[in-house]
Amino acid sequence: MKRIKVLFICCMVVFLTACSFASKNYEAGVEKFKIKDFVAAETYFKKAIDEGYNKKDINTVYTIVREYNLANQCYSDGEFEKALEHLEKIPKEYAEYSIRQDVELLKEEITKSKDIEDSIEKVKNLVEFGEYSEAKSAVLKIDIEDCNDKQKEEIENLKKQILLKQKNQDPLVLGKINTLVYTYAHGLCEAVNTGEFQPLVGTLYQGSSIYNVQKSYIASMANKDIYEYCLGSEVSSVEWMSETECVISTIETYQI
């Protein structure tokens, strides 16, 4: 009987110690919850539950902070759909606690960010299908003040992309490019035939690599009784690198 009594007392000591640890973890969780350190609160509540603490609706409070933290993490990662799903899993009892304002504010921010993300995706689709005017109108409607850094960067890139794409539809710009290519192609032939570089002046940047190459070429062709004639020139594509720089691809046919 003495051995049984001693064993019983030992078990009671272990049990009371475990309960003490569980209670302390719960109390620590409550303190963290009060100061809105919900990540730490989740950790302490989980420890208390694992150690057998089952009072004061701890499972409900634990679920509230866990789903809130998951939603907040998904929001930070840009996974807005998942973030909203976690918010939907928060027990309705959250409204009885101080976390209510945090949950509602997070939901508002997630919804706003998701709407912006949907608007950005709409602009991308319009650009893909060549609807540049509609894309420009849509991107200007997005409130940049409500965007995160990643969204702001995406919007600025889209604005530049739309601007450059629209240049390819601008008759004035296309007309200038076609005139430049025509003047260059026929000017090159005239320069070769006369031995004078003057016909190419204004079509090439002075000092550029092609400027120097063509100047040397024309000089080398002088007095060789060789004549060139431009049979046709056309612009096959224009790729804008910035607002003032583009790569022009042409098809030119010459008779020598």
Residue 255 pLDDT > 60:
yes
pLDDT of residue 18: 46
pLDDT of residue 239: 86
Q: Global pTM?
A: 0.66
Six token digits for residue 87: 């918010």
pLDDT of residue 241: 84
Residue 11 pLDDT > 50:
no
- What are the CA-CA distances from residue 102 to residues 36, 68, 86, 94, 236 (Å)? 9, 9, 14, 10, 57
pLDDT in tens, 19-52: 577 889 999 999 999 999 999 999 999 999 999 8
- What are the CA-CA distances from residue 22 to residues 15, 110, 238 (Å)? 11, 35, 71
Q: Are 64 and 91 in contact (CB under 8 A)?
A: yes
Q: Are 221 and 187 in contact (CB under 8 A)?
A: no
Residue showing tokens 């690198």: 241
pLDDT of residue 22: 83
- Distance from CA of residue 24 to its chain's centroid? 44
pLDDT of residue 71: 97
Residue 229 pLDDT > 80:
yes
Q: Are 162 and 131 in contact (CB under 8 A)?
A: no
Residue 244 pLDDT > 70:
yes
pLDDT in tens, 100-151: 999 999 999 999 999 999 999 999 999 999 999 999 999 999 999 989 899 9
Query: Can you give the three-state secondary structure of the chain, one letter per residue?
Result: CHHHHHHHHHHHHHHHHHHHHHHHHHHHHHHHHHCCCHHHHHHHHHHHHHCCCCCCCHHHHHHHHHHHHHHHHHHHCCCHHHHHHHHHCCCHHHHHCCCHHHHHHHHHHHHHHHHHHHHHHHHHHHHHCCCHHHHHHHHHCCCHHHCCHHHHHHHHHHHHHHHHHHHCCCHHHHHHHHHHHHHHHHHHHHHHHHCCCHHHECCECCCCHHHHHHHHHHHHHCCCCCCCEEEEEEEEEEEECCCCCEEEEEEEEEEC
Q: What is the mean pLDDT of residues 59-73?
A: 96
Residue 5 pLDDT > 90:
no
Residue 66 pLDDT > 50:
yes
Question: For residue 169, how many other CB atoms are within 10 A of its CB?
Answer: 11
- The mean pLDDT of the chain is 88
Residue 14 pLDDT > 60:
no
Strand partners, 235: 250
Residue 9 pLDDT > 70:
no
Six token digits for residue 75: 């929001």
The pLDDT-based confidence of 240 (bands split at 50, 70, 90) is: confident
pLDDT of residue 3: 52
